[in-house]
Amino acid sequence: MSPTARPWPTSCPDTACWSMRPRCSRTGRRSPASPWFNHRRPHLALRPKQRAMTDGHHTLIDQIARGPHPFVIAEIGINHNGDEALAAQMIEATAAAGADCVKMQSFHVDEYLSPLAAKAAYQEQGPFAGKSQYEIIKACELDIAAMARLKRHAERLGLVFLSTPFERVSLREVLSLAPQAIKVSSCNLTNTPFLEELAASRIPVLLSTGMADLAEVARAVAIFKAAGTSLLLFQCTSNYPSKTENANLRVMDTYRAVFEVPVGFSDHTPDHVAAIAAVARGAVAIEKHFTLSRDLPGIDQKASIEPGQLTELVRVVRLTRAALGSPVKVRCGEEEDTTRALRRSLVALRDLPVGTRLAASDVAPKRPGTGLAVDQLDRFEGRQLTRPVAAHQPLQLDDFLL
């Protein structure tokens, strides 16, 4: 899919704007201008509070929920190791793979991480065994000016750009970039002051729920619901990598039923099995950590997928959505030829002259399926033929005087 054909527009050409504008849920008419992105003049995109004043059906989350395929987010995170040029290359690889969105992480280490904080087990691996968590994360900081440049780069390539702020200073900086939504990391799910400040902006929120129980998720959701925030809730298992059998995808059913929000899956498993199952279970968005090479230094590289795998992820989740089809059972178009070849018709057992009144003994259910259906015998038994039918020929509607 080309960047201009994306259902989640960023800086699309003028000719595509009208078709990409959202429809009003009541009238079905397209809005005169998109309330969540200015296609002609991207630098004039609405600020979060302005955007929040528009109809909720016009948010990025609504576009994701109603989109033609799962929204694939490539999570670069800190895999760039503080190198803006490397981050730009990762963004380019994301676009080339056909993903819909690229996501970074924004933080000021001193605002959220104590120098004395212990490392998680997965952070002890490789060349970082002798460094503190503070030292590892500090080396991956990118300032807001770099984020602004990377956002422009992503949008030029047709990607939605998101960043996860880790504390309130970074939250305000990210909001100043006028993003289409904010992604909240699982580690901030219980950070009430952070969530309340974010909710006050009323910008759409993608909320991850790793390390949480249902009560903690409910408290976080309540903060956003009270503010009228458009919300997409991600099931997540916070280990890097996590085991496929620990994906716990049925939680998404609970989220939909209890919170009445669209759901996604933040996938830290090593393959695509869980992502495919998540889409089959109704996930409208899939997030996966992404890197150019797992051999790069970094604590998240080993839990990330590479460009070829991202291309395959996009392919299989879109194919999975397409395979779900419709709840209405109808004959598929590609079955027509098979139907003619394999179905049974009422086939004459002998030559039947004009005027013959059809009896059950005159026909048998045989292939091909190009004549009267076998279940129509009761309707035509006793009716006269208006033309002769040769032995072994399927009977047709035109053979009878009706």
Residue type (1 letter), 32: P
Over the stretch 26-68, which tens digit does the pLDDT of each residue have? 444 433 333 323 333 333 333 333 333 334 458 999 999 999 9
> What pLDDT, on a 0 to 100 scale, did the predictor assign at position 123?
66
Please say whether the structural domain 333-399 has been given the CATH code 3.90.1210.10: yes
Question: What is the DSSP annotation of 280-332?
Answer: HTT-SEEEEEB-S-TTSSSTTGGGSB-HHHHHHHHHHHHHHHHHH--SS----
The rounded distance, in Å, linking the Cα atoms of 182 and 162 is 6
Q: Where are the domains of the chain?
A: 50-324, 333-399
The rounded distance, in Å, linking the Cα atoms of 327 and 164 is 37
> What pLDDT, on a 0 to 100 scale, did the predictor assign at position 118?
83
> What pLDDT, on a 0 to 100 scale, did the predictor assign at position 129?
66
Mean pLDDT of the chain: 88
> What pLDDT, on a 0 to 100 scale, did the predictor assign at position 4?
39
> What pLDDT, on a 0 to 100 scale, did the predictor assign at position 364?
98
The token pair that represents 207 in the structure block: 């909320």
Give pTM, 2 decimals. Answer: 0.81
Residue type (1 letter), 182: I
Burial bucket for residue 148 (CB in 10 Å: 0-12, 13-18, 19+): middle
Q: How many CB atoms lie within 10 A of CB 109?
A: 19
Question: What is the DSSP annotation of 331-374?
Answer: --GGGHHHHHHHS-EEEESS-B-TTPBP-GGGEEEES-SSSSBG
The token pair that represents 229 in the structure block: 């925030």
> What pLDDT, on a 0 to 100 scale, did the predictor assign at position 116?
84
Please say whether the structural domain 50-324 has been given the CATH code 3.20.20.70: yes
The rounded distance, in Å, linking the Cα atoms of 17 and 292 is 32
9: Cα separation from own chain's centroid: 15
CA angle 60, 176, 288 (to 5 degrees): 45
Q: Residue 139: CB partners within 8 Å, gap ≥ 6?
A: 81, 82
Crossing angle of helices 214-227 and 251-259, in 10° steps, is 40
The token pair that represents 271 in the structure block: 């393959």
Residue 68: asked if its preceding bond is cis (omega within 30°), the reply is no
Q: Decide whether 50-324 matches 333-399 in CATH topology.
A: no
Over the stretch 213-261, which tens digit does the pLDDT of each residue have? 999 999 999 999 999 999 999 999 999 899 999 999 999 999 999 999 9
> pLDDT 10s digit of each residue in the chain, 402 long?
444 344 444 433 333 332 333 444 444 443 333 332 333 333 333 333 333 333 445 899 999 999 999 999 999 999 999 999 999 999 999 999 999 999 999 999 999 998 888 877 766 666 666 788 898 899 999 999 999 999 999 999 999 999 999 999 999 999 999 999 999 999 999 999 999 999 999 999 999 999 999 999 999 999 999 999 999 999 999 998 999 999 999 999 999 999 999 999 999 999 999 999 999 999 999 999 999 999 999 899 999 999 999 999 999 999 999 999 999 999 999 999 999 999 999 999 999 999 999 999 999 999 999 999 999 999 999 999 999 999 999 999 999 987
Instruction: Using alpha carbons, select from 56, 18, 19 the residue that is nearest to residue 36.
Output: 56
The token pair that represents 319 in the structure block: 């194919």
Which residues lie across from 266 on neighbouring strands? 236, 287
> What pLDDT, on a 0 to 100 scale, did the predictor assign at position 402?
74
The token pair that represents 391 in the structure block: 């032995």
